[in-house]
Amino acid sequence: MKVLICDDEENIRNLMKRFLALEGLDSDTAENGLSAERMLRSDVYDAVLIDLRMPGMDGLELLKWLRQEGFRMPAIMISAHGEITDAVEALKNGADDYIVKPFDPEEVVIKLKNLVEAASLKSVAESSGKDGSLVGESPEMMDVQRIIEKIAPTHATVLITGESGTGKEVVAREIHRLSSVKEGPFIAINIGGVPENLLESELFGYEKGAFTGALQRKTGLFELASGGTLFLDEIGDMPFSLQVKILRVLQEKKITRLGGTNPMPINARIIAATNKDLESMVREGHFREDLFYRLNVVRIHIPPLRERPADIPVLAAYIITKYSKEMGLKITGFTPEALDALRHHSFYGNVRELENIIERAMIFADSETIGINDLDLRSGLQKNDVQKAVPASDVLTLRDAERNAIIRALQRWEGNRTRAAEELGISRRTLISKIQEYGIGKESL
């Protein structure tokens, strides 16, 4: 993944470039809109970060040019406090999300990865001749599409379930695209990607003086999504203490900013998603039953890739096209044996694993056609990986199993904590806490 960072503040550019590099992501920087224009014309980028306030061509002008010229990569706007109105205007003009200074670079990386993944899956569908944003020719995905078309025009709350990497945000964006609020903003937040102590203020906003450091009013995401859609990704990570407040919003269609006294009406459509078993969490007392039923008005389950092998060829074809262009390669397809091997692979990492396998195969392929020997199907996530990692003993504690699962995930992703957390279905913050708890050091990997 390659990102263009456009900001007139050198410290912001350098900060994001260093952090992206630590996450294994490539990036270029531009100090103004005109420079960014030049770079966008001469290179290929998967996403752009654009500062709203810049001398000469400002961020909103650059964004409008970007969309008018047909560039479709995700764009995240960077705004300062007091520029929320401009950020909302940017969302209406084609921005995919926004962040407010000062921001957490880790949160930006999570937003970038989620948006690029969603855009990638959308392009797959369009490259296969489909009108919508969903990928797949299998009966399972056609059923998903039919449900979406049925419920999109309504205002029903939707709960999307499925394993990590199956495309839950893609489904949420498709519902928004077909809805009566499609002209409004689509705002997504990964619940597990926001520190617990900041989550409430992100969702509800706060009044000036609400707490130390609240120097001016902050508009929350529920307000910003008014007239559009708010996507609560990984709702299973919602702290129990906040769940009752989310329930109240769904019941009353009103929110109150932190430090405020006057409830304000909101008219955002709510879509939630999770890779967790919420029913089990309800039974165990970790998720409110009343909130579960409020969210679960309409359920859309996205089957894992291993249950819809008919979708693998179209996905694989797009991935080849995408990386051939990005890496300057001339890979045209697969041998019949290689394609058959992909169809029969389990893909417990879903589309993300498929993309990883094909990208690696393209790099090492000696011809324009990927053969069976070019595919490394052993490196993916397997159902019995945890079993392989456990010691040969009669009794294995839950702590041992969890520690081994974490070690295996970190080994698969060469220590990349963000990707390991995605595979394990937990937040990066939770993974770091577990690493510390179990004393997992480099020597364990």
Q: Is-contact 177 185, C-beta < 8 A?
A: no
Percent of the chain at pLDDT above 90? 31
Backbone conformation region of residue 329, classed left if phi is above 0, alpha if psi is from -120 to 50, else beta: beta
Nearest to 115 by CA among 97, 92, 100: 97
Tokens linked to 444:
């364990």
φ, ψ at 273 (rounded to 5°): -145, 155
Q: Is the pLDDT of residue 4 over 50?
A: yes
What is the C-alpha to C-alpha distance for residues 382 and 177, in angstroms, rounded to an integer?
35
Sheet holding 47-51, edge to edge: 26-30, 2-6, 47-51, 75-79, 97-100
Q: Is the pLDDT of residue 388 over 60?
A: no
Confidence band (pLDDT; 50, 70, 90) for 166?
Answer: confident
| Residue bearing the bigger pLDDT, 238 or 129 | 238
Confidence band (pLDDT; 50, 70, 90) for 396?
Answer: very low
| Residue bearing the bigger pLDDT, 82 or 326 | 326
Confidence band (pLDDT; 50, 70, 90) for 132?
Answer: very low
Nearest to 253 by CA among 269, 271, 265: 265
Alpha helices of 348-397 — where are they, by DSSP H? 350-364, 385-389
Q: Is-contact 414 400, C-beta < 8 A?
A: no
Q: Is the pLDDT of residue 67 over 90?
A: no
Report whether the peptide linkage leading into residue 102 is cis, meaning its omega lies within 30 degrees of zero: yes
The two beta strands, 186-190 and 229-233, are parallel
Lowest mean pLDDT among 18-32, 78-92, 158-172, 335-349: 78-92
Question: What is residue 129's predicted lDDT score, i.e. its pLDDT?
Answer: 39
Q: Give DSSP secondary structure letters for 269-298.
A: EEEEEESS-HHHHHHTTSS-HHHHHHHTTE
Confidence band (pLDDT; 50, 70, 90) for 127?
Answer: very low
User: In the beta sheet, which residues pair with residue 232?
Assistant: 189, 272
What is the C-alpha to C-alpha distance for residues 41 and 53, in angstroms, rounded to an integer?
22
Lowest mean pLDDT among 141-145, 176-180, 220-224, 378-382: 378-382
Lowest mean pLDDT among 13-22, 68-77, 280-289, 318-327: 318-327
Half-sphere exposure of 293 (CA within 13 A, CB side): 3
User: In the beta sheet, which residues pair with residue 301?
Assistant: 161
Alpha helices of 78-138 — where are they, by DSSP H? 84-92, 105-127
Element (H, E) at 19: helix 10-22
Question: What is residue 131's predicted lDDT score, i.e. its pLDDT?
Answer: 36
What is the C-alpha to C-alpha distance for residues 250 and 247, in angstroms, rounded to an integer?
5
Q: Is the pLDDT of residue 389 over 50?
A: no
What is the C-alpha to C-alpha distance for residues 305 and 346, in angstroms, rounded to an integer?
8
| Residue bearing the bigger pLDDT, 401 or 422 | 422
Q: Is-contact 133 177, C-beta < 8 A?
A: yes
What is the C-alpha to C-alpha distance for residues 52 and 60, in angstroms, rounded to an integer?
6
Question: What is residue 236's predicted lDDT score, i.e. its pLDDT?
Answer: 94
Confidence band (pLDDT; 50, 70, 90) for 153?
Answer: very high
Note the pTM of the prediction, 2 decimals: 0.60
How confident is the model over 340-368, as a mean pLDDT? 88
Nearest to 159 by CA among 299, 315, 291: 299
Question: What is residue 68's predicted lDDT score, i.e. its pLDDT?
Answer: 84
Element (H, E) at 380: none
Percent of the chain at pLDDT above 70? 89
Tokens linked to 128:
């296969």
CA distances from 183 to 219, 226, 319 (A): 20, 11, 30
Angle, CA of 28, 31 and 35, to the nearest 5°:
75
Q: Give DSSP secondary structure letters for 153-184.
A: TS---EEEE--TTS-HHHHHHHHHHTSTTTTS
φ, ψ at 50 (rounded to 5°): -130, 125
**pLDDT tens for each residue of 16-59:** 998 888 888 899 999 888 889 888 887 888 899 999 988 878 89
If DSSP codes are grouped into helix, strand and coil, which group holds residue 104? coil
Confidence band (pLDDT; 50, 70, 90) for 91?
Answer: confident
Q: Is-contact 135 124, C-beta < 8 A?
A: yes
CA distances from 361 to 99, 119, 351, 374 (A): 36, 22, 15, 5
Number of CB atoms found within 10 A of residue 344's CB? 12
If DSSP codes are grouped into helix, strand and coil, which group holds residue 335? coil
Confidence band (pLDDT; 50, 70, 90) for 160?
Answer: very high
| Residue bearing the bigger pLDDT, 444 or 132 | 444
Q: Is the pLDDT of residue 272 over 90?
A: yes
Question: What is residue 294's predicted lDDT score, i.e. its pLDDT?
Answer: 95
